[in-house]
Structure formats: structure tokens, C-alpha cells
Amino acid sequence: MLSRSFNSCLVGLLLAVVLTTSSGCTGIGSYFRNGFKVGPNYAKPAAPVSNDWIDSYNPKVQRGEMLSADWWKVFNDKRLDAVIEIAYQQNISIREAGFRIAESQAMRSAVAGNLWPQSQQLTGDYARLQRSQQTATFPQGGALPPGLLVTNYDNWSLGGAIGWELDFWGRYRRSIEAADANLDASIEAYDDALVLLIAETASAYIDYRTFEQRIDYALTNIQQQKRSADIRVARKKAEAINSEIDAPQSLANLTRTEAAVHLLELAKRQTQNRLAVLLGMPPHDLSYILGPSRGVPKVGDTVTLDVPASLLRRRPDVRRAERLVAAQSEQIGIAQTDLYPTISINGALTMEASQFPNLFAPNAWQGSVGPGFRWNVLNYGRLRNLVSVQDAILEQRIAAYQQTVLVANEEAENAIVSFLRYQMQRDKLEESVGYAQEAVRVVNQKEDKGQVDYTQVFDLETLLVQQQDEYATSQGNVAKSMVQIYKAMGGGWEIRFRQPMPYAMPNMIERLPPPMMEMEEMEEMEPRPAVPPVPPVDELE
């Protein structure tokens, strides 16, 4: 049977609940509906999204379940497949994002520990005490007789204390929910980094192949222009008519094309260096990975897409923005708990004696236990403003989420129209190159017979160089626009389902030599492989 004092405490506690919930931001009904937690429960915000794609009428834009995982295999390029696998395993930014997940996991575990007694202490000390003779008195008052006066003695103590703030208003449970949402956000950030890495790696690979193709076209034209220049120089030596102008003009055309090759080689090298960094390597020759020139990766003329609403469930950056909204929603409830009294149970148990052997004697024990509360009743204005701060931050997070959805829709539409228009440009340039090649062939035949002057040859050779270069660039643009479509749709992060996240654990972190290490000491260090094993070139052709 419960004691009368316990019943009185229980009634008083219920009255306190009613009074405090009435004085705070959460009513008694909401308090019970929210699972004995103050503050609002999270509700996913609405987001503006199109009903359909602008170019959905185009026969090249097909409706269906789009290829999201391993989307880069639409290029049917084993070299590209190998490059992306290496990037996933070795990219430093991905490792950094992985450690952010580990940080969020540890933080979540630390927050969950607050459900248990928050203060758990074991204390012990020794002191030599000197008491004042003026203050040494009987408990009833009056001075001690001279024979009983003890002013110098030792004091040994050993004990423990515990403090447990009860999660009466949901502060710690909401903190766990916020930590869960932040953990989810860190995972989505990792997935977003994967989407960006794969898209950037594929784009850099396509740029590299495009520069190779442009260089090949330029070198072919250089051979043709050398032939024309040799003819003009020979005619000049023979003092033929107009040779004084034709010879230097042909040489100028030749050297201009040769100069363009150097710029293309520069851009190709810079792209290779960018690829090396994406692969987590220092810039170096990647020919053992990239292999010989193989042309610009080709892709089909059609693309299969889901409805625009699929962006909300597929794009990691959209999901991350939504998880940040959820985390901030919990912060409102956490801030509201400061409006209510904190209820805690505190206890202490101590052994104290003037001599160490007596420290563990039965009569050396002393302790205390009991409930307590603390209520910031005079700070309500400041505390309510702090709740308003969290409300305002929540509105910011919602606006950021909605803006992320809009930008995702914009990126997808831009990628789709780029894919369609670049195809049209490529097809027209392909026709233009064919016409230019035919014109150069005919004019060379007539020029050999003396039926045309060099001005026509010069104009057509210049046109062919320009058109072939633009055609190669357009091929690269078509391939990269397909990459941008899959990036805008949030494809590629599913690669982590096939193998674990590659972020390194502390014992795997590379040990770098000190800055002032001597060369002899560095040579004695165990060598490390610079790059991972790569399949032989013939296996990737």
C-alpha cells in the first residue's frame, strides 16, 4: 500500500505537469499526443515540382524507369568503367565525407547516453586540517574545554555522486531524434559527393577523349596542309606566277594549325591532371589506365526518364535538405524544454575518516538521496525569444529545401534540352564536315591541274580544320550532356551498395614523413604503391 506522503507527491507532480504545460508553449493535450514531449512533431514540408518535363513530347525523351545505378555503362566504355571504380575507391573527398558519417554516428551515440544519469562521479581526497581555536565549539554553543580541543587532524574521504535529470519534457529524446536526422543528412551528403564525383570523373574522361579527337583531326589536317605548303614552296623556287604570295600564305596556315595543337595538348594534360586528382593520385601520366586514343565515347540518341517528382526521392542533396529540416524541427522542442522545470534525482555516498584504516569501517559511511527541480521562471522573455530563434531557423531550412528542389528541377531541364540541342548541332556539323572534306578533295584535284588558285584551297582547308574541331567538340558535348542528365537525376550513389564505404579508419591513415626528414631516411621507408592495380590494356579494349 502506498504511503500517504507518496500519494501527496504524486498528486503534486500531476498538478505541476498541468500548470507547467499551461504556462509553456505546449498544451497538455499536445504533450500527451507527442509522446510526453513538448514542442511540435516533424511534418515533411511541401516542395514545388513540375508535373512533367518540358520536352516530354520529344520522341527522344522516353518515359520509364531510368537507369540510375551504373549509369555510366550506357557509354559501353570499359576504360571509363575502370576509371570510375578507381575514383570511388581512392578519392580523398569521398573519404572525408565518410568520416563525417563516422562523426555523426559517434555524436548520436553520445546524445543517446543522456537518457541515463548525466552525472556520474567517483571522488576521493586527503587533507591535513588545521582548525581555528576560536571557532571550535560544542554543537550547543560555548567553548571547548582545553583538554578536548583538537585542532590538527587528517581527513580521508572516498565516495561517489550521481545526478539524473529525468527526460520529463522530451529534451533528450528530441535530441536523439535530431541526431538521427543529422546522421541521415551526413549519409545523404556522402551520397551527394558520390553523385558529383562520378559525374565529374565521367566529364573529365570525356573531355580527355575529346581533346584526343581534336588533336587527331588537327594532325590529319597538318599533313594535308604540309602537302599544300610543299607544293607552294616548290613553285616559288620555280618562280611560278603568284608563288610569292601562295607560299608564305600556305606556311602561315600550316603553322597556325600546328600552334593550335600545342594548346590542345596543354588542355589535354590539364584534364589528365584533373583526372589524377579525382582518382586520389598525384598528377602523372595515366596512359596505363586510359590506354590509347579511342575517340569520344558514344551514347544513344534517346534517354529514359522518370517523372520530375522522382527528384525528391533520388537526389541526395534534396534528401539531405529535407533531413536538415527534420533536425531543426526537433530543436524547437529542445528549446521549449527550457520553459519548464528540470526534475532530477541526486544521490551521494561517501566514506570519511580521520585515519585511512578506518575509512572502510561501517560507521564511516554517510550519504544523501532525493529529488530536486530547477525552474528559470524569471527568464521567460529571453527563453521565448530563443524558441522564436529556432522557429526562424526552421523556416530558413524549409526555404532552403524548397530552393534545392527548384534548382534540381532546373538542372534536370537544362541537361535534357542540352542533350537534345547538342545532338542537333552534332548532326549538322557532321554534314558540314562531310561537305568540307568533299570540297577539299575536289579543289585539290583541280589545283593540281592549275584550274583554281590557292585562295580557294586556303579557304577550304581552313574551313575543314574549323569544322572538324567543332564536330569533335559537339560529340563531347553530347556525351557530357548525358552525364549531366544522370547527375541532375541524382544517379550513381548506389555504387556504395555493391561494396562498403571506402573511407579509411584511423589505423589506415597514411603516415607522411616529417617536413625536414633527410633524403636517406625517406629512402629507408617502406615503399607504398602509388596507384591501385589496373587491368591490362587489352582486357579493357
Q: Is residue 400 part of a domain?
A: yes
Does 371 fall in a domain? no
Write out the three cell numbers for 401. 529545401
Phi and psi based region of residue 242 (left: phi greater than 0; alpha: psi -120 to 50; beta: remaining): left
The residue type found at 266 is L
Q: DSSP letter string over 131-157?
A: --TTT-B-TTSSBPPGGG---EEEEEE
Contact (CB, 8 A) for 515 and 52: no
pLDDT beneath 70, residues of the chain: 1-26, 133-151, 236, 238-243, 448-450, 499-541
Mode of pairing for the β-strands spanning 61-63 and 303-305 = parallel
Range of the domain at 93: 34-116+169-324+389-539
The DSSP code for 532 is -
Alpha-carbon distance of 263 to 265, in angstroms, equals 5
pLDDT of amino acid 4 = 56
What nine digits make up the cell of 418?
Answer: 542540352
Helix (H) or strand (E) holding 522: helix 519-524
Strand, coil or helix: 354: coil
Does any domain span residue 217?
yes
| Number of domain units in the chain | 1
- Cβ partners under 8 Å of residue 311, min gap 6: 49, 318, 405, 408, 409, 412, 489, 490
Task: Report the C-alpha gap between 104 and 180 in whole angstroms.
Answer: 8
Place of cell 555493391: 498
pLDDT of residue 443: 85
Q: Which single residue is written with the C-alpha cell 527528384?
A: 311
**Residue 128 has what pLDDT?**
87
Task: Mention every residue, 6+ apart, whose C-beta is less than 8 A from residue 386.
Answer: 335, 338
pLDDT of residue 523: 41
In a domain, 510, yes or no: yes
> How many whole angstroms separate alpha carbon 333 and alpha carbon 41?
8
CATH number, residue 61: 1.20.1600.10
CA atoms of 183 and 273, how far apart (whole Å): 34
Q: Which of 405, 465, 363, 511 is nearest to 50 (CA)?
A: 405
CA angle 474, 471, 216 (to 5 degrees): 115
Task: Examine residue 159 and state whether it is found in any structural domain, yes or no.
Answer: no
What is the side-by-side order of every strand in the sheet holding 119-130? 119-130, 152-165, 342-353, 365-374
In a domain, 369, yes or no: no
Report which DSSP code applies to 79: H
Q: Quick one: pLDDT at residue 340?
A: 92
Contacts of 162 by beta carbon, 8 Å cutoff, 6+ apart: 117, 119, 120, 121, 346, 347, 348
pTM: predicted TM-score of the whole model, two decimal places: 0.83
Position 350 in a domain: no
Q: Say what the pLDDT of residue 513 is.
A: 36
pLDDT at 1: 45
Contacts 24+ apart (CB under 8 A), 72-75: 72/198, 72/202, 72/483, 72/486, 72/492, 74/299, 74/300, 74/482, 75/202, 75/297, 75/298, 75/299, 75/479, 75/482
pLDDT at 84: 95
How far is residue 491's CA from residue 191's CA, in Å, rounded to a whole number?
A: 10
Assess if residue 287 is contained within a domain. yes
Give the pLDDT confidence of 110-135 residue by residue, as tens digits. Answer: 999 988 888 889 999 989 887 776 66
CA dihedral of 264, 268, 274, 276, whole degrees rounded to 10:
-160
pLDDT tens figures, 27-45: 777 788 888 889 899 999 9
| Closest by Cα among 355, 481, 357 to 420 | 481
